Amino acid sequence: MSANIGFIGLGNMGGPMASNLLKAGHKVKVFDLMPAAVEKLAASGATVCQDAKQACDDVQVLISMLPASIHVENLYLGEAGILSSIAPQTLVVDCSTIAPETSRLVAANAAERGIQMLDAPVSGGVGGAVAATLTFIVGGEKAALELARPIFENMGKNIFHAGAAGAGQVAKFCNNMLLSVLMTGTAEALQLGVDNGLDAGVLSEIMRQSSGGNWALEVYNPYPGVMDNVPASKDYEGGFLVDLMIKDLGLAMEAALQQGASVPLGSLARNLYINHGKAGYGRKDFSSIQKIYNKDEPES
């Protein structure tokens, strides 16, 4: 069933997501500050808007995909904020990865105007955005999520309901903090085994089937040559950048600070990732953390 959708933010992620909505037969009105990003979508059949407010007119669903909390706050709540331009029956879905308090603040403002809003940060990277295999981790009313589900399914595969407004953000940074720990711990265990004479592939397989089993060993082994078609076997190109992992860990750390939560392993992983970024690996895949453990290859 075709819907009228507004889409604001057509970057590396938003662009292919909007494109998949067009492929699914929806009418999509798009806006981005970068003309090049807009033109690409226009060529695929999107209607070009001159500003964000235009993208809100006469749509059933409005989706935003922006880099950080400040952009989301400015878009919806700033002086030229679009909340006042959105009709009450519109379902608003913010797919940005931002601080949960920003998600909650915008959702509360939306609710005051009778607008339903979901925070729905994604995982799966650019590859997942293009292939329409993203995971959506959603905060907000369950009923609103069900309304949005067909739209999510045009852009992704797994859709999780994490809880009330902001919960999508919390679940995402908890997951990514754990991921940073898994990946770093896996890299560390593999190198310790190799330093003690084991074959990385053999050890990977033993741990994968044992109590050390985790997502990295299943599908994203950080040790070069163990798996085909993962960044580790392509000089850590592509994938999920170290700089982006640092951003997500920052959101987790902020939340930990606010709650007085203890996060020793997450903090350590973050600091190791920052050191790694400073050593020149910011634009490499996050599994390149393997490099800090490697005996044979000095980093400088």
Which residues between 157 and 186 bind a second copy (CB under 8 A)? 158, 160-164, 166-167, 170-171, 174-179, 181-182, 184-186
DSSP structural state of residue 230: S
By CB under 8 A, residue 212 contacts a second copy: yes
Q: How far is the CB of 285 from a second copy (least distance, A)?
A: 13
Distance of CA 94 to the CA centre of its chain: 12
Q: How far is the CB of 31 from a second copy (least distance, A)?
A: 29
- Among residues 116 and 191, whose Cβ is nearest to a second copy? 191
Footprint of a second copy on residues 109-168 (CB under 8 A)?
123, 135, 137, 158, 160-164, 166-167
**Which range, of 53-61, 87-95, 148-156, 209-217, touches a second copy by CB under 8 A?**
209-217
Q: For the CA atoms of the chain, what is the radius of gyration?
A: 21
- Among residues 130 and 178, whose Cβ is nearest to a second copy? 178
Longest Cα separation, the chain: 65
Distance from C-alpha of 284 to C-alpha of 222, rounded to nearest angstrom: 12
Distance from C-alpha of 195 to C-alpha of 265, rounded to nearest angstrom: 23
Which of 213, 224, 234, 236 binds a second copy (CB under 8 A)? It is 213
Distance from C-alpha of 147 to C-alpha of 127, rounded to nearest angstrom: 26
Distance from C-alpha of 273 to C-alpha of 286, rounded to nearest angstrom: 8
Q: How far is the CB of 32 from a second copy (least distance, A)?
A: 23
Per rule CB under 8 A, count of chain residues that contact a second copy: 90
- Among residues 62 and 251, whose Cβ is nearest to a second copy? 251
CB 135 within 8 A of CB 123: yes
- Among residues 3 and 164, whose Cβ is nearest to a second copy? 164
CB 93 within 8 A of CB 61: yes
**Which range, of 3-11, 43-51, 56-64, 205-213, touches a second copy by CB under 8 A?**
205-213
- Among residues 48 and 160, whose Cβ is nearest to a second copy? 160
**Which residue in the list 172, 234, 284, 291 is annotated as catalytic?**
172
Which of 126, 147, 198, 244 binds a second copy (CB under 8 A)? It is 198
Q: How far is the CB of 16 from a second copy (least distance, A)?
A: 19
Q: How far is the CB of 181 from a second copy (least distance, A)?
A: 3
End-to-end CA distance of the chain: 56
Q: Provide the mask over 239-278, with x wherever binding to a second copy is found by CB under 8 A and - wherever it is not.
A: ----x--x---x-xxxxxx-xxxxxxxxxxxxxx-xx-xx
Distance from C-alpha of 10 to C-alpha of 244, rounded to nearest angstrom: 18
- Among residues 8 and 162, whose Cβ is nearest to a second copy? 162
Cβ neighbours of residue 101 closer than 8 Å, sequence gap 6 or more: 166
Q: What is the DSSP string of 127-165?
A: HHHHHT-EEEEEES-HHHHHHHHHHHHHHEEEEEEEEST
Footprint of a second copy on residues 12-71 (CB under 8 A)?
none
- Name the token pair of 47: 């209607």
Cα separation values, 115 from 85, 93, 174, Å:
11, 11, 28
φ, ψ dihedrals at 8, nearest 5° = -115, 120
Active site residue 172: yes
Q: How far is the CB of 40 from a second copy (least distance, A)?
A: 25
Q: Which residues are catalytic?
A: 172
